[in-house]
Amino acid sequence: MVASAGRARPAGGPAGKGSPGSGRAGEPARREGPDGAGAAPDRPVAGRVTSRDVARAAGVSQATVSLVLGDKWPGRVSERTAETVRAAARDLGYRPNLAARSLRLGRTRTVLLVVPALTTEFFARVYTGAERVAADHGFGVVLYPSPEGVGPARDPFDSARASLDGVIASSMAADALTLVRGGGLPLVMLDSDPDDAAAAATVNLDIADGARQTAGHLLALGHRRVAHLAAAVDSWTFHVRARALAEAVAGVPGAALCTEPAGLSVEEGRRAAERVLARPGRRPTALVCDDDILAAGACKAARRLGLRIPDDVSVTGFDDLALATAVEPELTTVRLPAEAVGAAGMRALMTLLEGETPQDTVLPVELVPRGSTAPPPRN
Amino acid sequence: MVASAGRARPAGGPAGKGSPGSGRAGEPARREGPDGAGAAPDRPVAGRVTSRDVARAAGVSQATVSLVLGDKWPGRVSERTAETVRAAARDLGYRPNLAARSLRLGRTRTVLLVVPALTTEFFARVYTGAERVAADHGFGVVLYPSPEGVGPARDPFDSARASLDGVIASSMAADALTLVRGGGLPLVMLDSDPDDAAAAATVNLDIADGARQTAGHLLALGHRRVAHLAAAVDSWTFHVRARALAEAVAGVPGAALCTEPAGLSVEEGRRAAERVLARPGRRPTALVCDDDILAAGACKAARRLGLRIPDDVSVTGFDDLALATAVEPELTTVRLPAEAVGAAGMRALMTLLEGETPQDTVLPVELVPRGSTAPPPRN
DNA sequence: GTGAAAGCGCTAACAT
DNA sequence: ATGTTAGCGCTTTCAC
């Protein structure tokens, strides 16, 4: 992995090349010139301070330095020497070379977080939670945004360029995980099928309950013709929404549900909603959208058709993004504890790395009623 | 402890998934005993295949393996042996140990991208562009979201746990860069003060021109009382917007500008806009917002005050996020070529790492007129 | 209590 | 054309 690069470059040029498997275009020519009279940037620039330098400065051996700085000295090194070492390290600005440590230890204290997209704050919050827990354990987190979230991920083990101790994958489409699976690394999946055999542990949101709460809210308001704007993404989290919603609606006599698929964008949401709302006759009075982005699109569709929200049609979202309160009216939506998901996921992974077996977790979600829902129109 | 957990749940048959053998460079299933039977090679369970294993399997030396897999064999190793080596590597599922390589080379082929926040797609796009270029050079990119975007960044060199060959920082607040600066690594700054001495190169958007285009658009429509909802963030990009806007407005006789600061959220944008619009007497007829999020807040404020957009008040944004077309009416805003910024930044860094001096770059931006702007009301 | 020594897996001089 | 060798900087027995 990835470690502290010390000297600028040893001598002679680096070698351009990608990973062994991929004969990628190498890096462009570099110039030689250890002897060039001119601008040879070739000096061991920051001749990085090594633990040996510290040892020398402190008048002890490298081993002692390692012991002290690794906090394993109690009972092996005298308090006084320990302090000397720490002082020397501080003075010299010593930073351990992570590559060397990783090589020696066989572990990197780095975890990869794979997310389908960078563009929504849901994943930003997942990251935040995961990072906090990781930091507590002395681990770092590297983000890997799977391109477009839906296509098969490019090889993170090559691309992230970090060697890893474990992987956390969130809300990935079913087919986007092939490579993550193959890594042979401890894997925790978030917001994903708990029965997936690839994951050693899962952390989930009670998505089904969120869908039920949404349905319950609308049904209680009196809605009987409900349309589901369903994300056209093949992942567990959306399948669950569809199923739970269908069941909830089916449980109420006289209630009917129709489903319209949509890509995850405002524009696609708008188009899907227009299709649904344009159906003559029994137009739905409520639109349940798989996320807030689709819901925003649905609102635009309604407005274009001259329908008022919530008077003529109610709209609900999912996620409670900033977008949910940016539109008018504000969206009734399901708030997901994203940070908690990230944190729980990282805890599970840490447990796993300690050789123990974490429990699968399910976190509760909460419907946030706002201005986009109301009783259906009279007629 | 910290037993490097092999696999908690052996990936048996993927329950819901088919096609296990994607034939990709992914890790082929571990072969049984490539290195001979009998003598129990006592391989430590997680024992990765090393280049030595490959050498043994191919009947050559480790050096040859390195040469072949490093694509520097032409002229030094026979085509036949090269093929043998490649085959052995493939069969064993060999993946080079990056820690070892980094240690040896003193370079990591990893770059850190520091961004102020994960929550907006602007940075997601910057990442995308940067990643693409990096991949072409055989480099990986690690993302470091500086907490909250404004506070001083925590130490990325520790936290990211990746040692780095270089750093790219985008749109950072002035005081958030201390640690990045101190890293002693080649640094490219994006959307930042080109005069900052810390950066070896900068890539900028022509933010000033964007502000001028916005001002020109509004002034041409006839607006004379303009308010600036200014991001309360101390970074170059926002200073430039303020200055250019002020100059443009000052250039038109009879035009006046007032400024209202706001934090970067819908809610704060709304409050700031309410303050501005509530001013009795000479209410501004146009609100120029430092980004689309603020603009969304401004729209909400207008609506709450019973003002119609764009009839009573015009609103403009900056960035052209998805949000810009999610609201009603859609926002007139300045589109920023985010991917191009990321790509240019990475190219500059690659140039830098090759020991040459990249040129500073300025990329053009474009005003996108939409429904949120119109001539000012008559009276 | 402290130091000496042995590598982790890789690459690049230097033999052969 | 291929093998041998010497480390990169670190942690960890094992001697003293």
Compute the count of residue pairs across chains A and B with CB atoms less than 8 Å apart: 274
Beta strands in chain A, from DSSP E residues, in sequence order: 110-115, 140-145, 166-170, 187-190, 201-205, 225-231, 256-262, 286-289, 314-316, 333-335, 361-363, 366-368
pLDDT digits (tens, 9 = 90+) for A219-232: 999 999 999 999 99
Which bases of strand C sit closer than 7 A to a protein CB?
1-13
**Residue A38, pLDDT score:** 29
**Residue A58, pLDDT score:** 94
pLDDT for A207 beyond 70: yes
Note the CA–C1' distance, B48 to C10, in angstroms.
14
**Residue A143, pLDDT score:** 86
pLDDT digits (tens, 9 = 90+) for B349-375: 999 999 899 999 999 999 999 999 999
CB count, 10 Å around CB of B6?
A: 12
How far, in Å, CA of A222 to CA of A374, rounded? 9
pLDDT digits (tens, 9 = 90+) for B107-120: 888 899 988 877 78
**Nucleic strand C under 7 Å from the C-beta of A60:** yes
Choose between B158 and B26: higher pLDDT: B158
**Residue A375, pLDDT score:** 98
Residues whose CB is below 7 A of strand D? A 6-7, 48, 50-52, 62-63, 65-67, 69-70, 72, 94, 96-97, 100-101, 103-105; B 59-64, 75-78, 80-81, 100, 103-104, 106
pTM of the predicted structure, to 2 decimals: 0.83
pLDDT bucket at B323, cuts 50 / 70 / 90: very high
- Residues of B whose CB is below 8 A from A161: 98, 108-110, 139-140, 142, 162
**Nucleic strand C under 7 Å from the C-beta of B259:** no
**Residue A75, pLDDT score:** 87
Choose between A188 and B37: higher pLDDT: A188
Choose between B333 and A1: higher pLDDT: B333
Mean pLDDT lowest among A201-205, B23-27, B319-323:
B23-27
**Residue B160, pLDDT score:** 47
**Residue B362, pLDDT score:** 97
**Residue A44, pLDDT score:** 34
How far, in Å, CA of A9 to CA of B262, rounded? 47
For residue A62, what are its two tokens? 């490298």
pLDDT for B304 beyond 50: yes
DSSP three-state, residue B319: strand
pLDDT for A39 beyond 50: no
pLDDT digits (tens, 9 = 90+) for B122-139: 998 999 999 999 988 889
Considering only residues 90-149 of chain B, list those whose CB is below 7 Å from strand C: 94, 96-97, 100-101, 103-105
Are B92 and B49 in contact by the 8 Å Cβ rule? The answer is: yes
Average confidence score pLDDT of chain A: 83
Smallest Cβ–Cβ distance between B1 and the set A17, A161, A354 belongs to A354
For residue B102, what are its two tokens? 């980094």
A17 nearest nt, CA–C1': C11
Are B169 and B143 in contact by the 8 Å Cβ rule? The answer is: no
**Residue B147, pLDDT score:** 62
**Residue A184, pLDDT score:** 76
Are B301 and B284 in contact by the 8 Å Cβ rule? The answer is: no
pLDDT for B150 beyond 50: no
pLDDT bucket at B279, cuts 50 / 70 / 90: confident
Which of B142, B154, B132 shows the shortest CA–CA distance to B109?
Answer: B142
CA angle, corner B237, sides to B235 and B242, nearest 5? Answer: 100
**Residue B145, pLDDT score:** 83
pLDDT for B19 beyond 90: no
pLDDT for A152 beyond 80: no
Which bases of strand D sit closer than 7 A to a protein CB?
1-13
**Residue B117, pLDDT score:** 78
Note the CA–C1' distance, A55 to C6, in angstroms.
19
**Residue B155, pLDDT score:** 57
Mean pLDDT lowest among A83-92, A190-199, A328-337, B260-269:
A190-199
How far, in Å, CA of B258 to CA of B374, rounded? 19
pLDDT digits (tens, 9 = 90+) for A52-89: 999 999 999 999 999 999 999 888 899 999 999 999 99
**Residue B16, pLDDT score:** 29
pLDDT for A144 beyond 70: yes
CA angle, corner A123, sides to A122 and A128, nearest 5? Answer: 105
* Cβ contact B354–A158 (<8 Å): no
Greatest alpha-carbon span in chain A:
90
Q: For residue B46, what is the DSSP state?
A: T
Q: For residue A186, what is the DSSP state?
A: -
**Nucleic strand C under 7 Å from the C-beta of A81:** yes
In the chain, the amino acid numbered B45 is V
Mean pLDDT lowest among A9-23, A221-235, B117-131, B248-262:
A9-23
For residue A157, what are its two tokens? 């083990």
pLDDT bucket at B25, cuts 50 / 70 / 90: very low
Smallest Cβ–Cβ distance between B138 and the set A1, A17, A124 belongs to A17
pLDDT bucket at B198, cuts 50 / 70 / 90: confident
- Mean pLDDT (whole number) for A6-16: 30
* Cβ contact B136–A24 (<8 Å): yes
How far, in Å, CA of B109 to CA of B117, rounded? 24
pLDDT for A18 beyond 50: no
Residue written as token pair 């048959």: B13
Mean pLDDT lowest among A280-289, A292-301, B42-51, B126-135:
B42-51
DSSP three-state, residue A204: strand
- Provide the CB-side half-sphere exposure for B87 (13 A, CA): 11
Are B235 and B171 in contact by the 8 Å Cβ rule? The answer is: yes
pLDDT digits (tens, 9 = 90+) for B65-97: 999 998 888 888 899 999 999 999 999 989 888
pLDDT bucket at A142, cuts 50 / 70 / 90: confident
**Residue A289, pLDDT score:** 98
- Mean pLDDT (whole number) for B324-335: 96
**Residue A281, pLDDT score:** 72
**Residue B18, pLDDT score:** 28
A10 nearest nt, CA–C1': D8
- Mean pLDDT (whole number) for A87-116: 90
Kindly report the three-state secondary structure assignment for every residue of B160-196: CCCCCCEEEEECCCHHHHHHHHHCCCCEEEECCCCCC
pLDDT digits (tens, 9 = 90+) for A303-352: 999 999 999 999 999 999 999 999 999 999 999 999 999 999 999 999 99
**Residue B148, pLDDT score:** 53
